[in-house]
Chain A
Amino acid sequence: NAGVMQNPRHLVRRRGQEARLRCSPMKGHSHVYWYRQLPEEGLKFMVYLQKENIIDESGMPKERFSAEFPKEGPSILRIQQVVRGDSAAYFCASSSGQLEQFFGPGTRLTVL
């Protein structure tokens, strides 16, 4: 029973490029959450999605960031025109509803 999968685990981008982070939830889970964690800081909620719907995007920056969770395939967090301040660990979690969330191993984004 595979857990939450994220790829890539490490991603290096130059300023101005695009970053695409993927998350496959646990089998049977239809709720996906994205979080960002800066070095030595806590988890910051970004967005909560269910299949084909964004439920809560209150934590998403207004520009350059978008997320989707299509009917088929993984959830994607997309960051356009990356800047150095986007360097962080991005964690995805999934749940089956109003229950505990299970996290993937994260994607560490480094912007040069």
Chain B
Amino acid sequence: RKEVEQDPGPFNVPEGATVAFNCTYSNSASQSFFWYRQDCRKEPKLLMSVYSSGNEDGRFTAQLNRASQYISLLIRDSKLSDSATYLCVVNNDGGFKTIFGAGTRLFVKA
């Protein structure tokens, strides 16, 4: 089992749709969690951190379920510019080990 697993993609959605990505992690002692976004041929960029209480930033909502060891990202009212690969990231070992998921590609179409 991979340490961090993401939904296989790609997701193809129309503009305005709501789309949800899930990510599971295997190490129950994992401490911090993030979602990154990577555009084609560019570097990954931090989208948001994920907190136990859940957090929201505009159209984006991140949730963490420690009991089930999964993280989710919800994007509401999708825009064309949301098209990208979304990476789930988990920190273990007191932050000394960072593991990236393989990413889920999203295509938002007009």
Interface residue ranges, A against B (CB under 8 Å): 33, 35, 41-43, 45, 48, 55-56, 89, 91, 97-106
Closest chain B residue to A39, Cβ basis: B41
Residues A105 and B49 in contact, CB atoms below 8 Å apart? no
* Known A45-B99, A98-B32: A103·B91 in contact at CB below 8 Å: no
Residues A43 and B100 in contact, CB atoms below 8 Å apart? yes
A105 interface neighbour in B34, B42, B94, Cβ under 8 Å: B42
Bitwise, B51-80 to A at CB < 8 A (1) or not (0) is: 000000000000000000000000000000
Interface residue ranges, B against A (CB under 8 Å): 31-32, 34, 41-46, 49, 87, 91, 94-103
Chain B contacts for A97, CB-based, 8 A: 95
Residues A104 and B43 in contact, CB atoms below 8 Å apart? yes
Q: Report the bound CA distance from A44 to B98 in whole Å.
A: 11
Q: Which 8 pairs, one residue from A and one from B, show the smallest C-beta to C-beta distance?
A: A98-B95, A103-B43, A42-B102, A43-B100, A100-B46, A103-B44, A42-B103, A106-B43
Residues B46 and A102 in contact, CB atoms below 8 Å apart? yes
Chain A contacts for B95, CB-based, 8 A: 97-99
Residues B43 and A91 in contact, CB atoms below 8 Å apart? yes
Residues A48 and B96 in contact, CB atoms below 8 Å apart? yes
Q: Report the bound CA distance from A99 to B41 in whole Å.
A: 25
From B43, B87, B95, B102, name the one whose CB has the most chain A CB atoms within 10 angstroms: B43
